[in-house]
Amino acid sequence: MVKSFFSFNRASKIALLIFVIFYIGFGIGVTIFQEKIIYLPFAQDFDNCPAMSSAEKIRFGATRAYYKEAGEKLAVLYHGNAGSACDRDYWGLIFERNGYSYLIVEYEGYSNDIKAPSHEGIKGNVRDVIAFIESRQFKEVLVAGESIGSGPASFHVSLLPPQKLLLLAAFSDLRTLVSGIYWYYPTSLMVNNAFDNVKFLKNFSGRVLIIHGENDTIIPQKIGRTLFENIDSDDKEFVSIVGANHNDILIFENTTIAINNFLQNELSGRFEPMIAVSLLPAGRQAKSFNFREEMR
């Protein structure tokens, strides 16, 4: 009986030791390779993009983008994680039909770039975009960001505030986002909080629209609401899309209506369509990064 007790105790200690080693090792791996976990670029050829055939392929500094001149106003899009700038042609359509020229930005490390994506590389893309804007004379600038793209969009606002900011499925900051997934780790010590959107947007006074799916399981809506509540602007609006998750938010009619109304300076909450442009073709789903699946 005594021997059995000590054998069990020894086995438990070995199991505990294995768990501790795995816990620490996995945590170190997440810390070291966090940029590889967060950013998942697709092997899309930037120069071979039929969907963007009507746009000009430009390089400004170290940054590539699809640009189309369609008016005195400019809309800048920082896309979500999965996919590439090439497959955001539906954004170009909505911007153009609402009288905006558009710049759909590609990130460092995406679309067959030889470099690996990184926080600092993407911040460098934002600085290049700002230099591009300052080299032109636009009547109005709108900055848009979807999902992970809300980070560079918010960073852009902190450096050169636009007249309008449009965010889809935005997060408050990277640490808060990751802490909801790795709740069993001290993420505040592990995660490089390179994109603190609350900090970037706190003093923004322009017009803001944040759209978030009610059932978003990738970036929970409460995280988007935290960001919204911490923006000082008096001209801001939060639109919750009933029934929408993360990757299907663009197929909901109210999302399209809210975006169209925002671009045309109407109140999104009234949901009165002014231009009935569907953001996504039938059967097509927006590409976006699934943090929870990829980080398990």
Structurally, how many domains does the chain consist of? 1
* Mean pLDDT score across all residues of the chain: 84
Q: Give kind and range of the element (H or E) at residue 239.
A: strand 236-241
Q: Does residue 14 belong to any structural domain of this protein?
A: no
Instruction: Give the CATH number of the domain where residue 84 resides.
Output: 3.40.50.1820
Q: Does residue 102 belong to any structural domain of this protein?
A: yes
Distances in Å between the Cα of 186 and the Cα atoms of 22, 27, 28, 59, 198 are: 16, 9, 11, 40, 20
* pLDDT value at 225 more than 50: yes
Q: Does residue 174 belong to any structural domain of this protein?
A: yes
pLDDT digits (tens, 9 = 90+) for 140-184: 999 999 999 999 999 999 999 999 999 999 999 888 877 666 656
> Could you list the residue range(s) of the whole structural domain that residue 288 is in?
33-295
CA distance 43 to 72: 33
Which 8-state DSSP code applies to residue 214? T
Decide if 105 contacts 63 (C-beta within 8 A): yes
Q: Does residue 22 belong to any structural domain of this protein?
A: no
Binned at pLDDT 50, 70 and 90, residue 69 comes out as very high
